[in-house]
Structure 1
């Protein structure tokens, strides 16, 4: 077996005491190791004279344990707790905490009240929403708290999922669902990201508004009520499907177009070509300190290479391109890419600047 520090040893479950913390330090870093030690000492002090079935934990330790259980999974949490049994709650205790109404999330239920409480708590007035899907294993589960079955596709009415659509006490009804209703192959989630004020450097945690099972063939139409003042949006009142790019994909696709071997790009009479960047890299008049690029930054194989987008739009590279007689088209192309990064990706860009920076630069050029 490889002896690198990032390889899990075969005797991992047998590690105890100092050996366990030594491995945690190597694998997760010194900060994680110190956090676990502090949690151990605090909990041991609280539970020193109590029997194991009467252990009590502070709110912060419960939150730490829930985060570890959620992010790492059951097996990872149980392994960590083998060495920290007095410090961390048992899995049974965590399940009781998760069954609390404030923490439990039911399929297709929207938590607007909890969202409002959260925004008030962190003193934030603005937020944006995002929706995404991820693949899940097709299976049906019974939810005892709602007396309904989870795992079938959730019907939509005007684009809104129906909450508790599958409750029944009839075996015949359940049998008909299994024979006629598809199981969900995707989990659709709606997230809300609060936007802090300019004076607050801490980014608040995202809020899970709702989640429900779907398939990738939903054909429900939904209406868009658009203000007549929004003349920049060319959308029909009824849309079958909409696609919104996330910022990283937006800028990497712009880069990938430049790297394409078949695309022919022009700006007026000027050609836009990756060869201009290659010529600069291979030109002996320039060194890497002048442009900061290597040939690997121009490889089309890594289609999600965001760091390459940043490098090819550096101020130094743009200055070199702007000074060339036949590279101005490539300069404009990469300049627009740089402004796209500023408008959609850069966290330091203020909100009131984002909506204009991208479009005004196009007008100016």
Structure 2
């Protein structure tokens, strides 16, 4: 141990080595402070090289075997550390520190300290001697220096005159939003003069102008957002919806009633903002008579085509889900044209596989239109954006399909074999959990959006075990492999462009051949024995879009824009998760109303701007985690001929696989084209539910003359307030005036509130009663047949 320690001491692992130690100092007495770095594997490799080649030059040793023990072998140029010695070296600093920490027991080692401890001690000594005495030593933490500087500047001022630098104010705003009022107030009370007070922070947030108004398209704000951060004027759009609490509320900032569904403009497809003003009591009453309450929040995000750039909230509005696909088509075209007016181009548009979004994508991309190449069936206009379905939603759809083979007895014939979830369950009980990483809860079909479950199911371990140990599971293994290929084509950062093409198009051709096999057998139907049309169209759409994207970026010489991880709608999903978790301490509220959701998203946008604007001085774990994600390796994009040649090879391999599985005969056709019919989006009249949710059934009979709300007439009788005031005036038939709050009037007019479960799984659970997870239908009858205990009368 001693020889090994001094060998490290002579190397570059020691940051500070007193010269007299190297010059023959008696090292039996430790009387000097040594400062060590954290030792890593790379440092140990450098130490091995040092011992092999350099240590003999520094120290003149006649018999190195006797002096250094095992450090020098007969052939010291082949020296390596044993595994146990490597662990000992890595833990050396922590071991020495633990010895020093024992009070009074090791006085000889009392001067050993780490570099972090020495810096902290210098700051502490500076703080004890006076805040302004040793400011030059306070370089350990920017935030700590700012706190001390603010405290020193505000020490001679009155509390109402405290001033703070902009960085501290922004960071304090961030802390207030993530901590909540109580936690921040407690922190500020113990750091008075160092950070702003809670009322000051609330005023800063209100005056930050980060207010997102429902139904307003923020094109100018997006242009400023890109220019301020020197981001390219190319974005990827994504649109998605989530459930919100159906409640109508009054918004004093806009003097509007928030919670009703805004009407959709026929030509632009955008909602018409400011359609529910709250100027008078009669006007508010009419809104409740005719309005439809929003139960969904639709968000349109703009993701800059840059690796570490945060998305921008372009548009949000409430909806009752009574909109048509033609509204979505007009909205996407209108947004694309409006962004082009401010110099921003749209590269892709993504969404989940919702039927209306899927229909519009099929229409705009002209999926199913034949071309000169038989296997390519997409007549997309190159001037339009590229359309990509979210890969995570697509993989969960494929997972749910194979799960239904067990829980709903859905048959998936695949030539000589069949795709069956029972093969995976056999694997579950044949091998240990450590070998396949599967559990029964992972295979639960009730959770229909469990992407981690899909990842585990199509893992290489599972498919290898199926091929090795489960009989007749060839088709099931192939299905899971195709799931993995479809997922990795967009999500694996280490694949080359041609590898992405190969994996995705091989799966496409296998699905095409399988689809023709189902069509050629009368005992099977596409509805019962194949993928749904929605799921199959998503696979075809993503495959064609991947080819078109590569060709377009290659021809325009923009390979840096090929970032497949951004061609998805997970920006919207991340937003939904973030604003549901935006609750303060001691709060478990995850659901919110439309008004609250807009306010939370405004705060999220402010948080993102603070993080990116002050990241040079402050550390944000969320931003740091995002910056450390696995980056996509940049490869040169292939030419069109190389892409087409690779796809034709995929077709040959798929035909070979199909023959092995019995999907086609030996003399089958050599080409398999897409059989999806072109879709044309048509206008359909949306049917609205009646009665309207959250509106009083007897609202027509409501008498405003006899309401029992708190009357503010005495306080505001002599006050002149206009129509934008948060108060409203009600006149009775006899001319008597009553002044009430608009918020109270909205509360009176709504009858109930559509609540949501805080458990997200309950909102995505399959509603069918055929699942094995539900109680047996004969459960009650079995209970009734059990012998009952004799009553007291019978016992007598």
In the TM superposition, residue 217 of structure 1 has moved relative to its aligned partner by 3.3
Q: Equivalents in 1 of 2:283, 2:188: separation in Å?
A: 43
Q: Which has the higher strand share?
A: 1
Q: Does 1:308 align with 2:453?
A: yes
| Equivalent position of 1:135 in the other structure | 244
What is the match of residue 336 of structure 1?
482
Q: What displacement does 1:335 show?
A: 0.8
1:226 equivalent among 364, 368, 378: 364
Q: Which residue of 2 aligns with 1:44?
A: 151
Query: Against the structure 1 CA distance between its residues 253 and 136, is the aligned structure 2 distance closer, same or farther, given a 3 Å change threshold?
Result: same
Structure 1 residue 216 displacement after superposition = 3.3
1:319-358 to structure 2, matched below 5 A, reads: 319-323=464-468, 326-346=472-492, 357-358=503-504
Distance across 2 between alignment mates of 1:171 and 1:207: 37
Deviation at 1:66, TM superposition (A): 3.3
Query: CA offset at residue 35 of structure 1?
Result: 10
Quote the offset at 1:184 in angstroms: 3.6
Please give the residue correspondences for 1:270-289 in structure 2 after superposition, counting only pairs within 5 Å: 270-283=417-430
Please name the residue that 1:9 is paired with.
Answer: none
Do the aligned partners of 1:141 and 1:150 also contact (CA within 8 Å) in 2?
yes
Residues 248, 345 of structure 1: 8 Å contact kept: no
**Aligned partners of 1:226, 1:126: CA distance in 2, in Å?**
18
CA displacement at 1:213 relative to structure 2: 2.9
Distance 1:142 1:288, change over 3 A: closer
Alignment-derived partner of residue 286 in structure 2: 176
User: Structure 2 vs 1, CA of residues 211 and 307 (structure 1 numbering), >3 Å: closer, same or farther?
Assistant: closer
Helix, strand or coil at the partner of 2:156: coil
Could you say what the CA RMSD is over the residues aligned between the two structures, in angstroms? 3.9
Counterpart of 2:164 (choices 57, 64, 70) is 57
Q: Which residue of 2 aligns with 1:123?
A: 231
For 2:205 and 2:298, locate their aligned partners in 1 and report how far apart those are by CA, in whole Å.
21
**Residues 134 and 188 in structure 1, CA contact (< 8 A), matched pair in contact too:** no
- For the 8 Å contact 2:400–2:448, the answer to whether it is kept is yes
Residue by residue over 1:48-107, the C-alpha shift from the partner in whole angstroms, topping out at 9 and shown as x without a partner, is: 433322233333333333334444554554455454554443443334333446422222
Which residue number in structure 1 is paired with residue 310 of structure 2?
205
Structure 1 residue 344: Cα displacement: 5.0
Deviation at 1:333, TM superposition (A): 0.9
How many residues matched? Answer: 316
Distance 1:350 1:76 in 2: 49
Seen in structure 2, the aligned counterparts of structure 1 residues 97 and 129 have a Cα distance that, compared at 3 Å, is: farther
Q: Structure 1 residue 207: deviation in Å?
A: 1.3
Q: CA deviation at 1:156?
A: 1.4
SS of residue paired to 2:275: coil
Contact 2:367 2:379 in 1 (8 A): no
**Following the alignment from structure 2 to structure 1, what is the Cα–Cα distance between the partners of residues 411 and 236?**
40
2:208 and 2:368 map into 1 onto residues whose CA distance is 41
Q: Does 1:255 align with 2:399?
A: yes
SS of residue matched to 1:163: coil
Of the structure 1 ranges 160-169 and 348-357, higher mean CA displacement relative to structure 2 is found in: 348-357
Report the secondary structure of 2:226's partner residue: helix
Task: Summarize the alignment of residues 8-19 of structure 1 with structure 2, pairs less than 5 Å apart.
Answer: none
SS of the residue corresponding to residue 187 of structure 1 reads strand
Cα distance change on mapping 1:213 and 1:337 into 2, 3 Å: same
Structure with the bigger RCO (C-alpha within 8 Å, sep 6+) is: 2
Report the 3-state secondary structure (helix = DSSP H, G, I; strand = E; otherwise coil) of the residue aligned with 1:334. Answer: helix
Give structure 1 stretches of 5+ with no counterpart.
1-33, 236-243
Distance in 2, Cα, partners of 1:319 & 1:254:
19
Which runs of 5 or more structure 2 residues have no equivalent in the other structure? 1-140, 330-359, 370-376, 381-387, 510-649, 655-796
User: Which whole-Å CA distance do the structure 2 matches of 1:350 and 1:205 have between them?
Assistant: 25
Per the TM alignment, residue 108 of structure 1 is displaced from its structure 2 partner at its CA by 1.6
Question: For 1:236-251, what aligned pairs fall within 5 Å after superposition?
Answer: 246-251=390-395
Secondary structure of the corresponding residue to residue 301 of structure 2? strand
Q: CA deviation at 1:206?
A: 1.9
1:154 is the counterpart of 2:301? no
Structure 1 or 2, whichever has the larger Rg, is 2
Distance 1:315 1:96 in 2: 54
Name the one with the larger helix percent.
2
